[in-house]
Structures are given as C-alpha cells and as structure tokens.
Amino acid sequence: MGNIKINEVIGGNFAVTTDDGNLVFNLLDKNLEEHKKTKLDFSEIIVLTTAFLNAAIGQLYSKYKSEEISPYLKLINVADEDKILFKKVTERAKEYFANKESFEKNSNDAINGND
C-alpha cells in the first residue's frame, strides 16, 4: 500500500493551490492506474481549500468512476472541520463529470446570454 503524505508532497502545511493539488493528483492517478491501494495522509495540514481538493481528488472523477476509486483510496488524518470539504468536492466532481456536456452548454449559454 502506498502512503502519500500531503505535507511532504507539497512541501508545507497549506494545501491551498491548484498546482499543489495537481502534484497529488499525478501521484494518485499513477497509483490508480496500477491498482495500488493508497492512503492519503493529511496530518500536519493546517489549511485546506476546495481549490486544492478539486485538483487533487475531484479531477480523479474525470478518469475513474467512484467504484474504481473507493477500493484504492483511503483518506487519513483529516480534520473534522475539513471532512465536509471532501464531501462537497466529490459530489460536485461526480455531478460535473457525469453531465459534463450539459454543464458546459448551460454555462456557455449563461455567459453568452442565450436562453
């Protein structure tokens, strides 16, 4: 089983940027492709944002289904107040990637003023 310590990957205790999230995503993506079980360790993380989580975890749903992710990914040492962020990110990602074409059309229509 692979262990990924977030603070070691990003070199700090603030998991806030999309760039840092992409570093984690690349490691997770590789492990999922190889069907490697992975523990994602959030110990020592002081600040966590949805921008980071969208890049690190939400992006996984563009390539994999929930049932392909769940058996291989375990989140550990997540602060209680951050658990709701994970729920929001995964729900939004599942919804977005399941209905991507419709979502993008509606967004473009809204931006362009089309009804």
pLDDT at 2: 82
CA 49 to chain centre: 11
* Number of residues written out for the chain: 115
Quick check: 63 and 29 in contact, CB under 8 A? yes
**How do residues 11-36 score in pLDDT, each as one tens digit?**
999 999 999 999 999 999 999 999 99
* Mean pLDDT of the region 68-86: 95
pLDDT at 57 > cutoff 60:
yes
pLDDT at 65 > cutoff 70:
yes
Percent of the chain scoring above 90 in pLDDT? 79
